[in-house]
Amino acid sequence: MKVVVNIKTEKEVKESAQKIAKELGISLSDVVNASLHNFIRMREVRFSDSFRMTKELEDLLTEVEKDIKNKKNISKGFSSFSEVNKHLDTL
């Protein structure tokens, strides 16, 4: 027998989760059910504050590494904000 579970979350969280679920071809209900089943099976909930790079950040860092290797888009070192501002004014 199916039952309804009401939860409270921010509107943006719900909409973002629904969008991602749809992209994966599943419903938000499927996501919540899978999470609940995992909770029952593992008897744990994991929260992490460890940093995890997004695909966008990985791509950006790859470009930065290429620029560094090719000595492209690199400024000299600055010892004060006034030096930075003078440099920026020349651009």
21 and 63 inside one domain: no
The model's pLDDT over 67-82, given as tens digits with 9 standing for 90+, comes to 999 988 887 888 899 9
22-34 burial: b if 16+ Cβ within 10 Å, else e: eeeeeeeeeeeee
Domain assignment of residue 6, given as a range: 1-47
Query: Over 90: is that where the pLDDT of 15 sits?
Result: yes
25 and 63 inside one domain: no
26 and 64 inside one domain: no
Distance from the Cα of residue 10 to its chain's centroid? 17
37 and 60 inside one domain: no
What pTM was estimated for this model as a whole?
0.52
1 and 43 inside one domain: yes
5 and 33 inside one domain: yes
Token pair 């089943």 in the structure block, residue:
37
| Structure token pair of residue 10 | 């921010």
The count of structural domains within the chain is 2
Q: Cβ neighbours of residue 66 under 8 Å, at least 6 residues apart?
A: 72
- pLDDT of 38: 93
32 and 64 inside one domain: no
- pLDDT of 63: 94
Query: Over 90: is that where the pLDDT of 20 sits?
Result: yes
Side chain identity at 8, as an amino acid letter? K
